[in-house]
Structure 1
Amino acid sequence: MEKFLRTKGTIQYLDRPMEEPPQGAFVPEPTPRSRELLTSYFDLETPGGPLHAKCTADVGRRLAEGLPIPVYQIASLGLLREALKAEQPAQPNPDDPRDLPKAMRSAPWNHLCDMADNWGDLSVLDRSRLVTALAKLGFWNSVADLVPADGGGSSLDALRLAYFRHNADAQLAPDARSAAAAFVRARSVMETIARSEDFDPVVRYGAAAHMIVLCAKGEKEKALADMRHWLQAADAVAARAGKEMEPLHTSIYWRGVAFIPFFEGNHAEVKRQLELSEKYAMEAVEAADADTRLLALENVHPVLETSGRSAKARGDIDGAEQFYRRMTEWDPLDPKAHVRLADFLMGENRVAEARDAYSTAARLGAPYASYAHCQAARCSIRLDEAEHAYAALVASAALDRRALSPLILLRDICTTEVLAPLKEWAVHELAARMQEAR
């Protein structure tokens, strides 16, 4: 599949107004629904949108009520805030929650700002709760500003603070090497949690299972040895706990464990273990009460995604499609689900169907709208319907100010005299972006 090219510099040049493309060659694409669907990322209370947005509203409720805040699995990438800012630059797009004018703050948002303003007076517990909320909102700069780089403390809340600080460093890293180093530091914190005999077995069990996933990102031979080690550690914690682990944690465990046979090439065992992960995921949904329901619902999303990838890897094309379609049905307002389905269909040369799925993702919005528009345009080009690609490519270039691929494609498909102004615009904007990224 064609790579989506972007510049690799900083994003400071987003302040440069992009010249308006010439009118007449296309009807502009409508603005994505990001602001509607991701309102909780601006008020911490609106309950609608995709599952990760609903979880964000739940974090706001828990923060305001002084309740524990779980670490939801669908993390907010650094590019989410960047995408929201590029999509509607005239709308409020704070880099720090306290940048939002007080008159525009909801009660949960104002509570979060008050906590940040009074950081020095907060207990470690409340600092941990605050930083968990900031991370869910995607305010990684705020996490890095508040949490000292050297960490400190051995309590679970202190370790959670350190873990989020290292994740912030990874999100904000200027290059891949710095990001990898921050990732190693975060992994070290998770290892400490998994090893500590002072923590609840459920916490250690989850940390050990998460370590398997983190280790899967290393070199194959060492990764396998490390993953097997943490599998044994998780099993030992469960055996000594004296009680059966809850379905949600058991589901997360089996999804993590499945990386081991995947690395070994034992796809039948991967399938078996992911079936167990889904079984327990559904049991967790059925057993959930009002307080735990979102955690259980959210967990199904990565289970279906991982199962789809696994099915594709073992050559079960029909099974893979089923998982990806179920993902869009389970979380229909999440553009990522539709992108995963579209990428799969594109890989199977089902181009018209892929275009439909990419177009759905583009309409839903951040942070996938730019990529989805560009891929929908590629589909139109492959279907010999280039006239349907112009608007999507312009939208892709406008929504991601570091994107190069849509401009390159526009340059190459504008071959008539009528399209010469659009081609000239694409060439000029492409040159400007490449120059600014140096």
Structure 2
Amino acid sequence: MSTSLGLARVPDGRSPREPGDRYDLWLLGPYFGLHEPADCSLHTSSVPRAYEELDTALPPTPFQLHPPRGLRLAVADQTGRPELAAARPGDLPAEYWTDRWGHVAELTGRASTLTQEARLRLGVLHCALGMDAAAQGVLPDLQPEEATASPIAAAIAMKLTHVRKRLHTDAASVRRDREVLAAVATAARIPARSALGAATTLVVLHARGTRPDVAAVRHWRRLAEERLARLDGADWRDRLAVSTFWRAVSYLPFLQGDHARTAAELDLAEEAARSMPAATEQEDLVRRQNLHPLLETRTRAALARGTADAALGYAREAAELDPHDGKVHITLGDVLARAGDRAQARASYLRAVALGAPYAPKAQNLLAGSLEAEGDHEAAMYAYLRVLDLDRGAYSACAAAHRLAGQLGTKDVMDWAASWRAAARERAEAGQTR
């Protein structure tokens, strides 16, 4: 029996090796049925692993990548399949269900009867699926004083406040998330690696945004250093902790404009990352997932320092490491474009377009912009129109196509673009009225 995604339902919930009716939905199959395609991005690979680890006898994986924000909505919109935006496992139409999906829906319905450990594992899976509302529903709602009662309580509290912050994005949710992280980072009874993770997260949170708090970054860096000193290095996850520590705290010299110190600290992060073991599937996944954001950080830092060749090297490695993630090909295209190699940049954007949702519209828009910058306005105009085939909300692409059509005197495109924009305004007004 075949689902609407073109993925065959088989007893163990695995998909066949041949592609379904859409290449991108085959790659993203784990998000919409817990399939295991032959190939997928590193963030997608968290899903089947998190499903396996519903078995609390298995050691939990410290996942380093999460689904892009709004993934399910973006895929649903870009593929014209609104049902894929399901917020909870039980909301997905039955024709998509595999045995695995049915198992998760059943567990979700009786989450309150499970142990704290089992509820945490189920919440981790929901987060991996991009179902934050479902994660919020299955995680125990601990009282503030319970957050540091035990390692499992700390993990639950941090996961829950993170999920609520992603869902609500209000000041109270942001504040509560930081309060829980601070409590875990400073708690005496919490294992050093968990406390270190909370402290480094606080470093990053205070360093990002339009108004970084350098004093707070410095404070939490000092505390993270104290927690780091408590690790004995006996566990392979300590190498991961060392790598993520140096990647996080390198924000401080970066914010201070010390690019040489930033590079030196990222060297330490990279040394730890490349020394991580890969003897088991779990270790190999974590090693590769950790390298992904590290290479992204190294790319950005190298560009800020003005070392374009180094930036290009890191961007190329990221694309090789995670070839089925459209985002890394977009980054590589951007670095190539900055280096003046527009032809190779367009090749990278085209690869991202071919990988489909959710990054195809952005990649196609960048491709069109590259053609326009080269002076090929007719090709750019039609490339912008192609963006609208991929994303019906791409207003800027429509405006660009209309502008170029005016320059070229292409009346049919001008008329169509004008009607599209009028229809888009009517849809927006109707939505606001509802």
Q: TM-score, normalised by structure 2?
A: 0.84
- Residue 273, structure 1, aligned to residue 265, structure 2: yes
Q: Counterpart of 2:24? A: 34
Amino acid at match of 2:239: P
Distance 1:207 1:165, change over 3 A: closer
Is the Cα contact below 8 Å between 2:247 and 2:265 reproduced in 1?
Answer: yes
Q: Counterpart of 1:203? A: 194
2:300 and 2:165 map into 1 onto residues whose CA distance is: 25
Offset, 1:271: 0.7
Deviations 1:192-240 (A, max 9, x none): 22122222211112222222111212676x7222222222212212333
Q: Structure 1 regions of 5+ residues with no counterpart?
A: 1-30
- Residue 140, structure 1, aligned to residue 132, structure 2: yes
Q: Counterpart of 2:13? A: none
- Residue 235, structure 1, aligned to residue 225, structure 2: yes
Amino acid at match of 2:318: M
Amino acid at match of 1:261: P
Is the Cα contact below 8 Å between 2:203 and 2:249 reproduced in 1?
Answer: yes
- Residue 248, structure 1, aligned to residue 225, structure 2: no
Is the Cα contact below 8 Å between 2:42 and 2:322 reproduced in 1?
Answer: yes
Identity percentage of aligned residues = 29
Q: Counterpart of 1:100? A: 92
Q: Counterpart of 1:343? A: 334
Worse-superposed segment, 240-249 or 73-82: 240-249
2:228 and 2:323 map into 1 onto residues whose CA distance is: 35
2:306 and 2:250 map into 1 onto residues whose CA distance is: 17
1:57 and 1:281 map into 2 onto residues whose CA distance is: 23
Deviations 1:130-171 (A, max 9, x none): 111111111123234555878653244444444444444443
Is the Cα contact below 8 Å between 1:373 and 1:396 reproduced in 2?
Answer: yes
Distance 1:166 1:203, change over 3 A: closer
Number of positions where the alignment pairs a residue of Structure 1 with one of Structure 2? 402
Q: 2:173 aligns with which of 182, 185, 191?
A: 182
Equivalent residue of 2:40, what SS? coil
Distance 1:123 1:330, change over 3 A: same
2:191 and 2:141 map into 1 onto residues whose CA distance is: 26
1:65 and 1:146 map into 2 onto residues whose CA distance is: 16
Q: 2:403 aligns with which of 408, 412, 428?
A: 412
Alignment of 1:253-332 (within 5 A): 253-284=245-276, 286-332=277-323
Q: Structure 2 regions of 5+ residues with no counterpart?
A: 1-20
Is the Cα contact below 8 Å between 1:374 and 1:405 reproduced in 2?
Answer: no
Alignment of 1:63-142 (within 5 A): 63=54, 67-90=58-81, 92-93=83-84, 94-102=86-94, 104-142=96-134
1:419 and 1:65 map into 2 onto residues whose CA distance is: 63
1:417 and 1:255 map into 2 onto residues whose CA distance is: 49
Q: Counterpart of 1:12? A: none
1:364 and 1:424 map into 2 onto residues whose CA distance is: 31
Equivalent residue of 2:282, what SS? coil
Is the Cα contact below 8 Å between 1:45 and 1:60 reproduced in 2?
Answer: no
Offset, 1:33: 3.3
1:384 and 1:257 map into 2 onto residues whose CA distance is: 43
Q: Counterpart of 1:171? A: 166
Worse-superposed segment, 206-215 or 89-98: 89-98
Q: 2:360 aligns with which of 349, 365, 369?
A: 369
Equivalent residue of 2:45, what SS? helix
Distance 1:288 1:434, change over 3 A: farther
Distance 1:310 1:408, change over 3 A: same
**Per chain length, whose mean CA-contact separation is higher, i.e. which structure has more relative contact order (CA < 8 Å, sep 6+)?**
1
Distance 1:90 1:227, change over 3 A: closer
Q: TM-score, normalised by structure 1?
A: 0.83
Distance 1:243 1:311, change over 3 A: closer
Distance 1:163 1:424, change over 3 A: farther
Deviations 1:22-76 (A, max 9, x none): xxxxxxxxx9732121111122241521111122221122125653543522222
Is the Cα contact below 8 Å between 2:72 and 2:130 reproduced in 1?
Answer: yes
Is the Cα contact below 8 Å between 2:32 and 2:96 reproduced in 1?
Answer: no
Amino acid at match of 2:29: T
Worse-superposed segment, 410-419 or 353-362: 410-419
2:391 and 2:59 map into 1 onto residues whose CA distance is: 36
